Amino acid sequence: MPSPNHITVSQLARLIGTPDAPVIIDLCLDDDFGEDPRVLPTAFRFPFKQITSLADQLQDKRVVVYCQKGKKISEGGAAQLRAAGIQAELLEGGHYAWRDADLPLIPFDKIPTHAVGIQGTLWVTRHRPKIDRIACAWLIRRFVDPAARFLFVAPATVVDVAEKFDATPFDVEDVFYSHRDDHCTFDTMLKEFKLDASEVLQQVAVIVRGADTDQHDLAPQCAGLLAVSLGLSRMYKDDLAQLEAGLIIYDALYRWARDARNEGHDWPGVKTPS
């Protein structure tokens, strides 16, 4: 009988990418991690012997911990958190089970090292976002770092602000995370974070690319995303408020791509011609 404090790979995979995803903590020993230095999407690494030091920051959150095989370190880490009043589960089979299911793993060296974990990484881009910048922020929040923070500044100052405030710049010219050839920054992030193997995220990427570069023939949804994004930008003067509202658009687009692509809709009682 499965333990009530365990979560399976398939159960966790359905949660990642949604607003209901738990906090995921990698407790792998350094030697074990060195054999495969990748983490589950949104996971951050933390020493297992210090896990209870996170208790105050994890209050009222659902937490999943994992180690290499999902055994003693995961069991002990989750139990320690539960003893501190945290809703904590362990991933059955640990890192190995996730890897063997051929699910996405993010190279740890691709994640900005500053303020990783509960505090959040820091990113900076141009102000007045429309499509690509909101989509990239959504991808980071849902698949890389749920606590990520974003700075929106004048275009000419992005690189300087990044340097002065130890932030990662994106979606401006001549930085690592930007457009490449005919692909947009969202495509670049998918590739660099090794999330491009996801058919669902690739479908989202095509729509983002088409809307962001006026290639509406790439997918029927491109023109709609452009219209909604431009309308959203007129509704908000505050870029951070616009970002929070815009995340819902990409949450919905992701769930459509994952669960509803083959679903149609018409007026009840109207028969579709055969």
- Give the model confidence (pLDDT) of 185-236 as tens digits: 999 999 999 999 999 999 999 999 999 999 999 999 999 999 999 999 999 9
CB 212 within 8 A of CB 132: yes
Distance CA(34)–CA(101), nearest Å, equals 20
Is CATH 3.40.250.10 correct for 6-109? yes
pLDDT in tens, 133-147: 999 999 999 999 999
Structure confidence at residue 95 (pLDDT): 98
Q: Which residues contact 104 (CB under 8 A, 6 or more apart)?
A: 40, 41, 143, 194, 195, 197, 198
Paired with 124 in beta bridges are 151, 169
pTM for the model: 0.94
Structure confidence at residue 58 (pLDDT): 95
pLDDT in tens, 15-25: 999 999 999 99
| 237, containing H or E segment | none
* Structure tokens, 34: 């060195």
Structure confidence at residue 128 (pLDDT): 98
CATH 3.40.250.10 placement within the chain: 6-109
Paired with 150 in beta bridges are 123
* Structure tokens, 64: 């999943």
